Structure 1
Amino acid sequence: WQEVVPFIKEVSQLEKIPIVAANDVHYTEPSDQIAQEVLICIGSNKTLQDESRFRLGSDQFYFKSSEQMRALFQDIPEACDNTLEIAERCDLHFNLKDQQGNPIYHLPTYPTQGGVSLENEMRRLSFSGLEERFVEAKARGESITTEIIPEYEKRLDYELKVIHQMGFNGYFLIVQDFIKWAKQHDIPVGPGRGSGAGSLVAYCLSITDLDPMPYNLIFERFLNPERVSMPDFDIDFCQENRGRVIDYVTTKYGEESVSQIITYGKLQCRAAIRDVGRVMGMTYGEVDVVAKLVPEKLGITIQEAIDTEPRIRELMEADPKVQTLMDLALKIEGLVRHAGIHAAGVIIADGSIVKHAPLYRGAEDENVVQYDMKHAEKIGLIKFDFLGLKTLTHIHEAMRLIQLNRQKVITLKDISLKDKGIYEIMCAGDTAGIFQFEGEGITDLIRKAQPDCFEDIVAINALYRPGPMDMIPDYLGRKKGQKKVVYIFPELEPIVKETYGIIVYQEQVQLIAAKIANYSLGEADMLRRAMGKKIPEVM
């Protein structure tokens, strides 16, 4: 650079262009140089011994202090002064909230028929959809009495008011529109996943296909009027045709308004140890010995592993190479290893996304937002989930073959959840191909539990996961009458009766808080969230 600086000074004087002294920063401290080289080797799949690997060229790429920079450019102090002038010119503000302090969401305006308001369009579609759902239920032989219709209408009216007050009419209409398009074009769509199944509006708009009323699913679990946050439908599409639905929204709202979302894979504990070991030229066996000593704990850090596992400390003390391995792994742990594209998330915005976030072109020339999901949401960009599910493809193909070979047209809406044949098949252990139920462990649980209704199937699915698994023996004992069903308070019986007195679902937690503590369902949802995240002060 000693050769370049005189030339730059000469050009500056001739062209009257100010000089700026820049600090090319790649790492924080001078001692981080080797860690930076390791990181480059990981990214380029090289080792430190590889002569062809990329090198930065010096050890000066750390974050220098003002004093260090002025010492380097003491003969042109104005070059350092100009950095301050540029910093003063940088003035970037994200407009995240409106004048009332509410979050600003960059959601496209949904085009309604005849230019009617979004609120009126939602009401029209929802109440006409409710009538269609009643017709479908009667066709399946289900009883729709005059007594329950007002209950549905009251719940539907309540949800519509909350959705309107929170400003999410457009979101619901956009989702129902692309789901409607998918179904019209013979693209299988899942019946509903996650908390969105608790919305009667979603059921009436055919966003979901499960009636939330008989199963005590709670709307506030999905959209809480006491805690403003975006709704988030998890929507499953046939894996082979998911891209067609994304193409539809891209055409409808404009290519500049639709984008995939970046994901960042980070170097976690074991991966960091293995990657550093490979870059150092250690054998797989040498690194494997250390990596396998890391305790089996979700989210464990390298420092926690060193502190809790004495054998790791012994290896570090006995072998300088292992000491270096762990020191370097500590430095790079948590850094980004690679970038990818979110498996389901797609942003649909109210104009050019590049006005709000940087983009890059993906491998298939698609737009990709360079903010990850959480940061994209913070600036008001809305994520829609387009999940690809192979099971839906298989079900669709099965129905096609039934029509071809048996000349019988059936849809999933024709299948009653009260069909005893469903439970006879599952109780026999014939679960191959059944989504979330075909594993050996859960199949064994089904054989033991002998479910005879849909509620039993739901409970088994909820129990067969880390944590709730501990309640399985108690659940089986109570279901089979071998253990007494006990209710802590008589008031809990209507809430936990179907799960034999055991609290299995988050919705049950909300209902209990509402019943015992007189919480609103919105307040109960905030309690549920605090319990799930283990935040004592909020609880």
Structure 2
Amino acid sequence: MFLNCHSYYSLRYGTMSVEELVSNGVATGATALALTDINATTGVFDFIKACNGASIKPIVGLEFWEESCKYIGLAKNREGFKELNEILTQRNLKKEPLPDRPMADNVFLIYPFGKEPKNLQENEFIGVRPDQVNKLLQYPNISRCVPLQPVTMAATSDFTFHQVLRSIDNNTLVSKVDKTTLAAPHDTFFPFQRLQQRFSVYPEVFKNAERIIEDCNFEFDFSTPKNKKYYTGSKHSDRQLLESLAKEGIVRRYGKGNLEAMKRVAKEIDVIDKLDFAGYFLITWDIIRYSQSRGFFHVGRGSGANSVVSYCLGITNICPIELNLYFERFLNSSRKTPPDFDIDWSWKDRDDILDYIFKRFDSRCTAFTGTVAKFKYRSTIREVGKALGLPKEELDILSKARATAIDLSDPIVSQVVDIGQRLEGFPNQRSVHSCGVIISEEPLTYYTALDLPPKGFPTVQFDMYIGEDIGFEKFDILSQRGIGHINECVEILKENRGVEIDIHAVDSFKDDPLLNEKLAKGETLGCFYIESPAMRGLLRRLKCDNYPVLVAASSIIRPGVAKSGMMREYIQRHNDPENFEYFHPVFEEQLADTYGIMVYQEDVIKIAEGFAKLDPTDGDILRRAMSGKTRSIKELDAIKGKFFANCKELGYDDNLAQEVYRQIESFAGYSFCKAHSASYAVESYQSLYLKTYYPIEFMVAVINNFGGFYRTEVYVHEAIRAGATVHAPCINTSDYNTKVVGNEIYLGFIHVEGLNEETIKTILLQRQQQDLFLSLDDFMSRANVGLEHLQTLVYTGAFRFTGCSKSELIIQVRMKFVATKPQPLQQLFQSPTRDFTLPELERTPIEDAFDEVEILGFPISIQPFDLLKTNFRGDVFVKDLLKYQGQVVRMLGYLISQKPVPTSRGLMYFGTWIDHQGEYFDTTHFPDNLQRYPFSGGGCYLLRGKVAVDFHFPTIEILQMAKLPYKPDPRYGEEGQSKERKSVNNDINPWIPQRAPYPSKDDRDRSFNNS
């Protein structure tokens, strides 16, 4: 008789997981349970599975809330569940209040006692709690009543936990939570006999409940796919269209008469058709076709790139035949769940693609996948402590301390820790998946209610794992900045140079000796996926000068391979391929291309099959489980047990079996499938081609897409290395984003600190409507820009076209602002501004550089080294490092990145620097050394260390390090006032912004360390 049960998907209300709810129901002797989470259907399908496993009848429903319970709906069948979902969806998407009395033919509605409408219909009932039975005396509607024992807690002892959840939800103390929003302390699995005894005087009430239970029969088939089944409307016509498109693609990709491609395509289409997956391919092709019609550039990656059909349809751009990628890794008849396509677009184009998808396909059947954010321990401890009234100081200590280090003698602290640990992992809030889109065969309200997160697209209330259990495969519509780099560079070349680039002609890029030379030298800064210090170092260690090695490098850089020790081993074997032994004959047989090392995810399957004789399905489950693509720990444990059982049967030594499994386990979750690595390698070659032949335009594109491993300053430096002259923003030349004219780069106004979008738009609109600005006066009369922004523009150097110094301009600005009175709106003639005789003021390049640092974030007119007090520039430079192997050297470096790496001895760091000659080098900082010589923020450092060369790649193991002081900021006098302020009459009293000196006083006072 439990018709109103809450799981923890009743967010910040329920205290039990779905599984705990069902197991507690079993312990109580329940034969049926109704899951009615508050405004949520997230747990429905896990609930059905749990009930089926426990031989309990599942009833699915919803508890509809607006401040408190309005009514409870129980679905009689699939149509009833859809009706419930549509009621909640209407409220969520249109922000309308819940109807007082919803119209639903396949639903039982239960109203709280005392809140029922008049003239109840056949499917409407009144819920009576056990403590309300006495109110039924002389009650006119007894025949429409049902016993309502809500279940929110496993036992009354959980009431405090429930109170804390409600406190967190309302952001208040436990003592101040509105009692009407709380469950009752006895909202537990009330013993059935006691429940029956309470209602013994009114047997018809129990009969009503029995009727509801009998009539609620929601059944669900988890085994059938739920995606839109047919693109054209039938299985036969889908196959015909897919075959036709694939044949056209064979000619386009391989030319006429390529028997291998035709054979592979025919085989793949048979499998695709058998698994009813043709519609998924065709929908993806439709999206790609639209993308191409808009001139968008995309990258299809992931295991979908194993398919020649995908390649022929233009979904992916790598050839599976060339790379010996096997289709079965993507799709095979033994796979329990079909895969999905991962497709990247530029971040600028993705919204257009999403808009097309939601308009092109039935709006009732299209939605984003949801996610469920969970409570994390540190933040949870703070939330629980706040709810229980602990002061902020104690919360700060508790949230930072390890659970084992907390003194639990204080009962409140002990309670906070206990509840915090229990709450960790509980659902906290629903959100939206970053890229997963579902396109269903039926309206999605057959499966879920829909939310409307800030992204503005309808979103299902379940996550990708539940979606996969149900039978949905999402379309991953992703974005990345690397594609934006490529797109924009191609556009710049077309507009500025009239050069049209076929960026998809990757086969010619792979064979270009100049590109491969740069690849082997790690000259890849700015290029997607191969620009980080770690990746550039790996490319140099491997002397990576071809596409296949780059494909391998894209996977071995991943944490899993490095963790297993196999990245180091791969480098060793690649550099000395004649001097190594295969770990086992199976490794030689299966992994000869990668020197017997598991590099790609599918290598897990190869070794699982070849070494432990697992069948392909088990091997794929093992790979998916280790990749975090399944929620079933039992499933993984079963495969692990089978792995070792088979090894024992095959006569393997236990240590050998353990080591093979360790290698599999240590990297499978973090490596790429080969097709994924190949897709990234293709994009890397595209970026590298543009950087090699059009480096200035490419760097402008990187700067404008604000994406990459490094900050903007580093890409500006790289453009200068390529021969560009970089200018600060100019009122008459610059645009919103950075632009290039020949070899001249003008930084965009977007880089000016403190300049808002409205001001930028005003400047550009005036220029567009009335031509260039002629003078400062002309600008001030045409552009309604405030004093603060105007001064910022002057300090930026945006008025240098006037020929006046910044000092002269800033005084003009301030005097004119004081001298010019506000004009009435209807005044026809403008009052003339007063003229002033200005004092002569000198200004040095150092002052301009400090302005640039303050406003742009970095100097562009001089090197950072030129701001140093010292003239010392180092004893050794990057170009000579290999000559100093094993020796201790002194270098000067400008810090551009630092990466911490945890070790058993503490954090160690890897640093990347630029020397005085503009070349890059890397350093290693061990934990003990860092305690004595820590990083002190950005800037120039004197470095003393030992040169270590690892497979052609030099690094410096730091022994000593000191940040160097900069020259005093000449813009400030002894009193901290700018020179311009001193030059203005005191009676003018202009507004002067607070300009913090750069670098900090500590930096300026730091003495030069010659150690």
Q: Indicate whether 1:242 and 2:350 are aligned.
A: yes
Q: 1:203 aligns with which of 298, 311, 320?
A: 311
1: CA distance, partners of 2:281 / 2:291: 16
Q: Which SS does the other structure have where 1:412 is aligned?
A: coil
1: CA distance, partners of 2:516 / 2:173: 57
2: CA distance, partners of 1:162 / 1:399: 38
Instruction: Note if contact 1:276-1:325 (Cα within 8 Å) is conserved in structure 2.
Output: yes
CA shift for structure 1 position 96: 4.2
Q: Residue 12 of structure 1 corresponds to which residue in structure 2?
A: 140
Supply the AA of the counterpart residue of 1:480: N
Q: Residue 358 of structure 1 corresponds to which residue in structure 2?
A: 449
Q: Indicate whether 1:375 and 2:466 are aligned.
A: yes
Aligned pairs for 1:94-109 within 5 A: 94-97=220-223, 103-109=224-230
Aligned pairs for 1:355-434 within 5 A: 355-363=446-454, 366-415=457-506, 416-434=509-527
2: CA distance, partners of 1:322 / 1:402: 64
Q: Residue 540 of structure 2 corresponds to which residue in structure 1?
A: 447
1: CA distance, partners of 2:280 / 2:523: 40
CA shift for structure 1 position 281: 3.7
Q: Residue 153 of structure 1 corresponds to which residue in structure 2?
A: 262
After superposition, the C-alpha distances for 1:494-521 in whole angstroms (9 at most, x for unaligned) are: 7534423322123344456677789886
2: CA distance, partners of 1:273 / 1:420: 58
Cα pair distance change 1:32/1:487, threshold 3 Å: same
2: CA distance, partners of 1:472 / 1:238: 31
CA shift for structure 1 position 249: 2.7
Q: 2:212 aligns with which of 80, 83, 86?
A: 86
Aligned pairs for 1:222-237 within 5 A: 222-237=330-345
After superposition, the C-alpha distances for 1:35-77 in whole angstroms (9 at most, x for unaligned) are: 1122223233334365779852753433433244346556545
Instruction: Note if contact 2:173-2:386 (Cα within 8 Å) is conserved in structure 1.
Output: yes
1: CA distance, partners of 2:514 / 2:473: 42
After superposition, the C-alpha distances for 1:112-142 in whole angstroms (9 at most, x for unaligned) are: 89x972222211111210110125xxxxxxx
Instruction: Note if contact 1:220-1:522 (Cα within 8 Å) is conserved in structure 2.
Output: no
Instruction: Note if contact 2:227-2:438 (Cα within 8 Å) is conserved in structure 1.
Output: no
Q: Which blocks of at least 5 consecutive residues in structure 1 are unaligned?
A: 98-102, 136-143, 295-305
Instruction: Note if contact 1:108-1:348 (Cα within 8 Å) is conserved in structure 2.
Output: no
Supply the AA of the counterpart residue of 1:61: D
Q: Which SS does the other structure have where 1:347 is aligned?
A: strand
Q: Which SS does the other structure have where 1:12 is aligned?
A: coil
Q: Which SS does the other structure have where 1:93 is aligned?
A: coil
Q: Which SS does the other structure have where 1:25 is aligned?
A: coil
TM-score w.r.t. structure 2 length?
0.46
Supply the AA of the counterpart residue of 1:272: T
Q: Indicate whether 1:215 and 2:330 are aligned.
A: no
Q: Indicate whether 1:129 and 2:224 are aligned.
A: no
Structure with the bigger percentage of strand:
2
After superposition, the C-alpha distances for 1:446-473 in whole angstroms (9 at most, x for unaligned) are: 3333311122222222112233102222
Q: Residue 549 of structure 2 corresponds to which residue in structure 1?
A: 456
2: CA distance, partners of 1:320 / 1:67: 37
CA shift for structure 1 position 435: 3.0
Instruction: Note if contact 1:220-1:521 (Cα within 8 Å) is conserved in structure 2.
Output: no
Q: Residue 138 of structure 1 corresponds to which residue in structure 2?
A: none
CA shift for structure 1 position 423: 3.8
Q: 1:272 aligns with which of 380, 402, 420?
A: 380
Q: 2:168 aligns with which of 35, 42, 62?
A: 42
After superposition, the C-alpha distances for 1:259-278 in whole angstroms (9 at most, x for unaligned) are: 12221112244443343234
Instruction: Note if contact 2:298-2:344 (Cα within 8 Å) is conserved in structure 1.
Output: yes
Q: Residue 918 of structure 2 corresponds to which residue in structure 1?
A: none
Q: 1:21 aligns with which of 137, 141, 147?
A: 147
Q: Residue 157 of structure 2 corresponds to which residue in structure 1?
A: 31
Say how many residue pairs are matched: 502
2: CA distance, partners of 1:65 / 1:432: 69
Q: Residue 290 of structure 2 corresponds to which residue in structure 1?
A: 181
TM-score w.r.t. structure 1 length?
0.82
CA shift for structure 1 position 324: 0.9
Q: Which blocks of at least 5 consecutive residues in structure 2 are unaligned?
A: 1-112, 114-128, 628-635, 644-1011
Q: Greater relative contact order (Cα 8 A, min sep 6): structure 1 or 2?
A: 1
Q: Indicate whether 1:64 and 2:190 are aligned.
A: yes
Q: Residue 529 of structure 2 corresponds to which residue in structure 1?
A: 436
Moved more, 361-370 or 446-455: 361-370
Instruction: Note if contact 2:344-2:478 (Cα within 8 Å) is conserved in structure 1.
Output: yes
After superposition, the C-alpha distances for 1:473-500 in whole angstroms (9 at most, x for unaligned) are: 2222222229823335678557534423
Larger CA Rg, structure 1 vs 2: 2
Cα pair distance change 1:439/1:280, threshold 3 Å: farther
Cα pair distance change 1:30/1:116, threshold 3 Å: closer
Supply the AA of the counterpart residue of 1:12: P
2: CA distance, partners of 1:90 / 1:112: 33
1: CA distance, partners of 2:195 / 2:219: 29
Pairwise CA RMSD:
3.4
CA shift for structure 1 position 198: 0.8
Q: Residue 602 of structure 2 corresponds to which residue in structure 1?
A: 507
Q: Residue 232 of structure 2 corresponds to which residue in structure 1?
A: 111
Instruction: Note if contact 2:608-2:614 (Cα within 8 Å) is conserved in structure 1.
Output: yes
Instruction: Note if contact 1:358-1:371 (Cα within 8 Å) is conserved in structure 2.
Output: no
Q: Residue 166 of structure 1 corresponds to which residue in structure 2?
A: 275
Aligned pairs for 1:243-262 within 5 A: 243-262=351-370
